[in-house]
Structure 1
Amino acid sequence: MLTPSFLLLSLFVAGGFGKLYDNAADLPGFKYDFVIVGGGTAGNVLANRLTENPKVSVLLLEAGVSNQGILPSEVPFRLSELFAPSVWNWNYTSTPQTGLLQRTLAVGRAHFLGGCSGHNGMAFTRGAAAEFDHYAQLTGDQGWSWNNLYPYFLKSEKWSPPADGHDTTGQFNPAVHGKSGPISVSLNGYQYPEFSSKVIATTKQSPNDWPFNLDMNSGKPLGVSYLQSSIGNGERSTSATGYLAAQYIQRSNLHVLVNSQVSKLVNSTQKSGKLSFGGVQFQSGNKLYTAQAQKEIILSAGVIGSVQVLQNSGVGPKATLAAAGVPTLLDLPSVGQNVTEHPTFFIVWSVNSTDTQEKVTKNATAFAEAQAQWNTSRTGPFVTSPLGTHVGFKRLPANSSAFAAHGDPQPNPSVPHLEFIFIPGGQLSSTIVLPANATNFMSIAVSLRAPISRGSININSNDPFAHPLIDVGLLKEESDVLALKDATAMALNFAAQPAWKGYIEQLITTGLDDATIETTIRSIASQSFHISGSNQMSPIGASYGVVDPDFRVKGVSGLSVIDVSTLPLITAAHTQAVTYVFAERGADLIKKRWNC
C-alpha cells in the first residue's frame, strides 16, 4: 500500500529531484547519445559515469516508480516488507520447480529506481580473487581478472563507520576498502553482543573448521567474518541514493524517466552486416513513445528484464520466438539460458536469550519504538539488515559425493562452495513454522554458492508486457542437493561447539537425519534472489553466449547488455558488489569505444 508521504513525493518528482521525470510527455526531446533501459543497480552506474562528460546525453528509462519515500527500502531492518506483492515489486512467479517438489517461487525483483540494490539483503561480498581470474580465462579478456577489477571495487565503495560508532578494530581490514565511492558500506550498526560473542568464540574453539577471517572482501573469503552491508548512517545505500544523488541527477545532460516500461527495440536495419536498432519503444502514461540512441542502446534491465526486451525485439532462440509469435531478427540461442541461482535454506533453533531480533519483531510496542528511534537519530535495531552479524564461507570436502557426477564446479582451493550466515533471530525462515511455545531464535542460512543446476527465462507471448516463463532451476541436479546435505552437517557442527551450550534450547528445523534430509532440503530450500547469467558473457567468436567481453551483443551493432545477466559464471558470493563492478568497467569500455 502506498503511504500518503510517498504519494505526495511522487507528485513533485519532476520538479523536486533534479532531472527526474514521471511522464515522457514532459521530456525535452527523444534523441540522446545513449539510452539506458533499467534504472537498477547497473543502469544508474552507467547513467552517472557516461554523463561525467557534459557533451554526452543520456536517457535512463525505469519501469518502476521513484525510490523516494519507500520506507521499507530506506530502513535496513524492514527489507522483508519489500517482497510482499506491491507496486515496488515486479511480482513474478516461477514455473513449478522440479527440484523443489513442484513448488513455485515468488521471484522478487525491485520495481523502483535503484532496482535490487534497494530491494536486497544489503550483504556486500565481493567473492574470491580466483573467481575473477577464472572470468578472465572464460572470456579470453584479462580485463576481467582480479587485479584489473580490484580498482573498480574500490571506486564504487565508500567505507563508512557503523551507526552506533562502536570500535571496529579487528573486525575488518581498512586497507582493502574504498573511501570515496558512491556506495556506503559498513559493519553492523546495532549489536547483539551475546550472539556475536558466541560466533567469535566458535572460531576460537574450532579454528580448523571455522577459522576467523579479518575481512572476507580481501579476495580471500574463506572463514568467518563480520558481515559487511551496503548501509551508511543507518540507511540503505543504493545505486539511486549513491550514483543518482542530487549532484548527479541534476546534470543537464542526464534525464531519468520513471514509470516507463520498455516494450522492445525498434527501427531495425543492417549496419556493416550486423543487425542494428535505431530506437527504444516504451510505454509512459498509457502512450507509446520511441527514444533514439545516436550512439548505443544499453540494456540494464536485469536478469529477467534484459532477456525479455531482447526476445520481444526478435533476438533470441528462434524456436522460442516463433512459439511466442515474435518474428526472429537474429537467432541467438543463448538468450535467456544459463540462468543460475544460489539455493538457500534456514536451520533454526530456539534459544535461551531475549536479545534476539524477536524483541522487536514480536512486540508491536518495541517495533514502533525502534522505528521512532530510527526516524529521529538513525540508530537502534532498525539500522542493520536482518541478515545477521557474521558470514562464513567454506569449501566442501574433497571427497564430497556432490562431485561424483559433474566434478568440482569450483576446483580452485581459495574459492568457496558454501556460505553460512549467522542470524540472531528466526524471522527470515519463511518455509519453517516457528513453534508458538518458543519466543526467541537463532538461525543459520545455509547456501550453495557453486551450483550445477541451470534454469531459463523465456517469453511465451507476443505481448511485450506479459511476464515471461521463469525457471529458476533450483536443485535440478542431484549434486546440488548432496552439496547442501554436506553443508547441513557443517552447520550442525557449528552449533554443537561448546560456545552454544546453555544458549541453544532446541533444534526447530526437522527432518535433517540421513533418511529424510534430501526431501527436507527440497521442501524448504528457496532462492537467494541472486539469479544471474541469462545473457552470459563469452569470448569473441564463441558459438555460445550473448555478449562479448566488452558487453556488446553478438551479431548486433550498437547494442550492449550490462547487468548481472552477463556474468560468465555466478559468483560464490552475493551479487550486488560484482554488479557495481561490471557496470563501472562497462562504463569505461563504452567511453573508450566512443571516445567520450
Structure 2
Amino acid sequence: MIFQCTQSLYATVSLYLSTLVALSSAAIYDQYSDIPLGKEYDFIIAGGGTAGIALASRLSENSAFNVLVLEAGTSSVGVFNITVPYFATRTVLQYDWNLTTTVQPGLGDRWLFFPRGFILGGSSSINGMFYTRGSSDDFNRFADTTGDDGWSWDSIQQYLALNEKLVPPAGYPNTTGEYNPNVHYYHGAVDVSLPSFSQSIDSKVLDAVDELGGIYSYNEDVNSGSPLGLGWLPRTIDSEGRRSSSVTAYLSDESNDKLDVLVNARVARVVPTSNTTLNSTARYSFRTVEFTQDITNVTLTQITASKEVIICGGVVGSPQILLNSGIGNSTTLLAAGITALVDLPSVGQNLSDQAFIANAFLASTTNTYDDINRNDTVSNEVLAEWMGGDGQGDFQGAGPLGDTFANQISYYRISEELTDEYGDFAAGATSPHLEIYPGNGYFIAPPTTGYYMTMTTVVVSPVSRGSITINGSNPFTPPIIDPGYLTAKFDIVAMKEAFKIVYTFLNASVWDGYILEPPTGLPSIPDFFTMNATELDVQLESYIRNSTGSSAHPVGTVAMSAKDASYGALDPDLKVKGVDGLRVVDASAFPFVTCSHTQVPVYVFAERAAVLIKTSWQQ
C-alpha cells in the first residue's frame, strides 16, 4: 500500500521535505556531464549505500582528497515514504532492486523476494531502523578470524563513537531505565533514539518478563555487548521523529566541495590500469571504474581514481562487480564468458542470511497499528499528528509514525542439549542464536479485518550458506542469488526452539484472553503444550519451511580473512587479495553475520575503513 493523503496535507509535507533537500543537494548530480569539467578524483566509491556514503564523507574530511560516489539508484533526499519512520512497513518497489532468490529446497521449493535498497543511502534509507550492535563475541570473532585485533569489540568502540549520536526521542518521554547511558555515544553522525510512542502491549510485555524471569529476564541495554534477554529497542530516528540514514547523517554539509555524488550511475566493472610484477607474480592494479547512466542504450563511461577504487555495492552488488571484472573463480568466470584476470574463488561464496518469520497472532483488541496501513482516514490522522497536530509544520514527530514497528527486542540461546547435539554456531558462549521481538499489529500489509500481535522470530547465528553468481557476461543482468535457507539442520532446529520460547512467553498470565488465534499452520497456545511431541515437531517444521523469509541481513560474499589465509576475498584492511588499488567496504566483507541487524556493523566497517585508508595515504 502506498500512502495517499489529502491535497492540503500533501502540500504541507512537500514544503517540509523541500527544506531537507537543501541539506545535501549541493554535491548530488543527476548527470555525469554536470560534474565540473576536468575534475579528478583520488577515490571513487562504487555504491552510495549505508557504507558508501559514510565512507565517502569521512574521506572527504581530508582537504587533500577528492571523492566521487557512483550510486545506481535515485536520490533519497526529500522522499516522503522513507522519511516517516513507520512507513518502513510500506514496501515501495521503485526504491528496491526487486531481486529474487533461486527456488529454495529448504523452503518447500519457494523463491523469495530479496530486499536491497535501490536509492541513495541504500538499505539505510529503507530498512526498519533497528539500532543493534551485536555481541562483543561477534567482533572478537572477526578479530580472531582475521588476525587483526582492530576488529575486536574493545577496538571498534572508537568507530561506534564516530557513528552514534544518542538523542532524546520525539516528545522527550522519560526513558530512565530503558538503556545504560554508559554504553552509548552522543557526538557521532547518526541519530539514535529510544521509542517515543507507547504501544498498547508495552506493559504486558514487561509484565510477562517479570513473571517468567530466567531467559526472559530484563536486559537494561541490549547494545552493551551482552544482548541476551529482553530490552528496549533503540532505532535510527532523530528527535523530530524522522529516519536517520547515511544520507541525512553524513551528507549534511553544503560547503563540502571535496565530495561529489552521481546518482543513476550503474557500475559495470572495475578495469585494470596497470599490471606489475612482484616476486615474479603478475599483479593487477584496478583503479578505473566503468559505469553507465542508461542500461537500455548502454554507453559505458570510464573514470580513474588516482589512489583507490572502493566497492560498496552490498552483499549482491560487490561480488557482482568483482566477478564481472574477472575477479573470482577462474573456471566459472570462463564458463560465463568473462576473461579471468584474478583467480579468487571465495568471491560470491559464503552468503549468509538470517531466516525470518513474522508470526501474526489474532488479538482480542482494536488498539493496534493495523488500521494505519489499511485505512486512509486513520493514516491521515496519524500523519497530521506526526507533523505537529496543527498542520502548521512543527514537525515534532508525535504519534506512532515517529517510531518503527517494535518497541522491545529480545535474544536467546537454544538449549545446551541442542548445542551438544548439533553444535554451537554463535560467536561465543554469551551470544544468542535467536532474536524475537513483539509488534503491536500485523507486520507489513495487514488483512482487511482483524487486529494482531506479531511475534517475529529470527535465527541470528545461522549455519546455512549460499552464493551469488553472475548470470552471463552482461554486467547488468541480475545475478543468481541462492542463500541456501534452512539447508543446515541447526537452523531448522533453532527456529523450532524459537517457537517454544514464543509460546511460553505468550502463555504468561498477563496474556490470558489476549490471543484469540495463532497464525495459520500453528497450534493454539493450549494445544502447543499438550500435543504429541512428534506431531508438534512435524507441524512446526512444515510451518517454518513454508513461512520463512529473508531478514534482509545478508552478509559474507566478499569475506575478509587473515592476510596469509588461502581462503577469503579480502585482507583484514579490506583490500582485495592479490590486487592493488581496490577495496570492498560493506556487509559482504563480514566473514560471519553478527547476531544483530546489520546496519550498525556496516557503519562500523565504514568508519574503520576510512581511518585505515586515510592512514595508508598519509604515510
TM-score range, shorter chain: over 0.9
| Aligned-pair CA distance for 1:132 | 1.1
Of 202, 215, 221, the residue aligned with 1:215 is: 221
The answer as to whether partners of 2:180 and 2:220 remain within 8 angstroms in 1 is yes
The answer as to whether partners of 1:532 and 1:564 remain within 8 angstroms in 2 is yes
The answer as to whether partners of 2:274 and 2:286 remain within 8 angstroms in 1 is yes
Q: Report the more deviating stretch, 558-567 or 159-168.
A: 159-168
| Aligned-pair CA distance for 1:14 | 11
Of 461, 467, 471, the residue aligned with 1:456 is: 467
| Aligned-pair CA distance for 1:410 | 1.8
Of 260, 267, 277, the residue aligned with 1:262 is: 267
Cα distance in 1 between the residues matched to 2:224 and 2:23:
43
- Which residue identity does 1:70 align to in structure 2? V
1:514-540 deviation per Cα after TM superposition (whole angstroms, max 9, x unaligned): 232111100001010000100011000
1:382 pairs with 2:404: no
Q: TM-score, normalised by structure 1?
A: 0.94
From the superposition, tell whether residues 21 and 196 of structure 1 become closer, same or farther in structure 2 (CA, over 3 Å). same
Q: Report the more deviating stretch, 359-368 or 112-121.
A: 359-368
Name the residue aligned to 1:53: 62
1:36 pairs with 2:17: no
Name the residue aligned to 2:305: 293
The answer as to whether partners of 2:358 and 2:443 remain within 8 angstroms in 1 is no
Cα distance in 1 between the residues matched to 2:479 and 2:314:
13
| Aligned-pair CA distance for 1:363 | 2.8
The answer as to whether partners of 1:316 and 1:330 remain within 8 angstroms in 2 is yes
Name the residue aligned to 1:340: 352
Cα distance in 2 between the residues matched to 1:364 and 1:31:
50
- Which residue identity does 1:594 align to in structure 2? W
Of 314, 326, 330, the residue aligned with 1:302 is: 314
Name the residue aligned to 1:404: 421
Of 27, 30, 44, the residue aligned with 2:35 is: 27
The answer as to whether partners of 1:403 and 1:479 remain within 8 angstroms in 2 is no
- Which residue identity does 2:432 align to in structure 1? P
Q: Report the more deviating stretch, 320-329 or 551-560.
A: 320-329
- Aligned pair count reads 582
Cα distance in 2 between the residues matched to 1:138 and 1:290:
36
Cα distance in 2 between the residues matched to 1:291 and 1:411:
41
1:527 pairs with 2:558: no
| Aligned-pair CA distance for 1:16 | 7.8
- Which residue identity does 2:459 align to in structure 1? L
Cα distance in 2 between the residues matched to 1:265 and 1:341:
27
- Which residue identity does 1:472 align to in structure 2? P
Q: Which runs of no fewer than 5 residues in structure 1 stay unpaired?
A: none
Q: Which runs of no fewer than 5 residues in structure 2 stay unpaired?
A: 5-9, 388-392, 524-535
Cα distance in 2 between the residues matched to 1:482 and 1:498:
27
Q: Aligned-residue CA RMSD in angstroms?
A: 2.3
- Map residues 14-413 of structure 1 onto 2, 5 A cutoff: 17-28=25-36, 29=38, 31-81=40-90, 83-86=91-94, 88-192=95-199, 194-232=200-238, 233-245=240-252, 247=253, 250-273=255-278, 274-284=283-293, 287-375=299-387, 376=393, 377=395, 378-386=397-405, 388-400=406-418, 404-405=421-422, 407-410=423-426, 412-413=428-429
Cα distance in 1 between the residues matched to 2:179 and 2:502:
24
Cα distance in 2 between the residues matched to 1:371 and 1:294:
48
From the superposition, tell whether residues 75 and 491 of structure 1 become closer, same or farther in structure 2 (CA, over 3 Å). same
Give 3-state SS (helix, strand or coil) of 1:152's partner.
Answer: helix
Q: Report the more deviating stretch, 30-39 or 500-509.
A: 500-509
Give 3-state SS (helix, strand or coil) of 2:463's partner.
Answer: coil
Give 3-state SS (helix, strand or coil) of 1:235's partner.
Answer: coil
Cα distance in 1 between the residues matched to 2:23 and 2:207:
54
From the superposition, tell whether residues 484 and 15 of structure 1 become closer, same or farther in structure 2 (CA, over 3 Å). closer
Give 3-state SS (helix, strand or coil) of 2:284's partner.
Answer: strand
Q: Report the more deviating stretch, 530-539 or 264-273.
A: 264-273
1:572 pairs with 2:595: yes
The answer as to whether partners of 1:14 and 1:22 remain within 8 angstroms in 2 is no
Q: Report the more deviating stretch, 497-506 or 302-311.
A: 497-506
1:485-530 deviation per Cα after TM superposition (whole angstroms, max 9, x unaligned): 1111111100001111132222234235323211110000101000
1:421 pairs with 2:421: no
Q: TM-score, normalised by structure 2?
A: 0.90
Give 3-state SS (helix, strand or coil) of 1:303's partner.
Answer: helix
The answer as to whether partners of 2:3 and 2:376 remain within 8 angstroms in 1 is no
Cα distance in 1 between the residues matched to 2:39 and 2:21:
20
Give 3-state SS (helix, strand or coil) of 1:271's partner.
Answer: strand
1:106-138 deviation per Cα after TM superposition (whole angstroms, max 9, x unaligned): 111111111111111111100111221111111
| Aligned-pair CA distance for 1:571 | 0.3
Of 496, 519, 533, the residue aligned with 1:508 is: 519
Name the residue aligned to 1:554: 577
The answer as to whether partners of 1:133 and 1:146 remain within 8 angstroms in 2 is yes
From the superposition, tell whether residues 165 and 572 of structure 1 become closer, same or farther in structure 2 (CA, over 3 Å). same
Q: Which runs of 4+ in 1 moved over 6 A?
A: 1-10, 12-16
Give 3-state SS (helix, strand or coil) of 2:435's partner.
Answer: strand
Cα distance in 2 between the residues matched to 1:404 and 1:308:
37
Q: Report the more deviating stretch, 348-357 or 333-342.
A: 348-357
The answer as to whether partners of 2:48 and 2:70 remain within 8 angstroms in 1 is yes
- Which residue identity does 1:99 align to in structure 2? G
1:148-193 deviation per Cα after TM superposition (whole angstroms, max 9, x unaligned): 001211220110111132100111111111111110111112111x
- Which residue identity does 2:286 align to in structure 1? F
- Which residue identity does 2:378 align to in structure 1? A
Cα distance in 1 between the residues matched to 2:443 and 2:87:
11
Cα distance in 2 between the residues matched to 1:216 and 1:14:
36
Identity of aligned residues (%): 39
From the superposition, tell whether residues 98 and 450 of structure 1 become closer, same or farther in structure 2 (CA, over 3 Å). same
The answer as to whether partners of 1:302 and 1:563 remain within 8 angstroms in 2 is yes
From the superposition, tell whether residues 469 and 545 of structure 1 become closer, same or farther in structure 2 (CA, over 3 Å). same
From the superposition, tell whether residues 2 and 55 of structure 1 become closer, same or farther in structure 2 (CA, over 3 Å). farther
- Which residue identity does 2:618 align to in structure 1? N
Name the residue aligned to 2:390: none
1:58-111 deviation per Cα after TM superposition (whole angstroms, max 9, x unaligned): 111111100122211111111132x3432x111111111111111111111111
Q: Report the more deviating stretch, 353-362 or 161-170.
A: 353-362
Cα distance in 1 between the residues matched to 2:255 and 2:407:
37
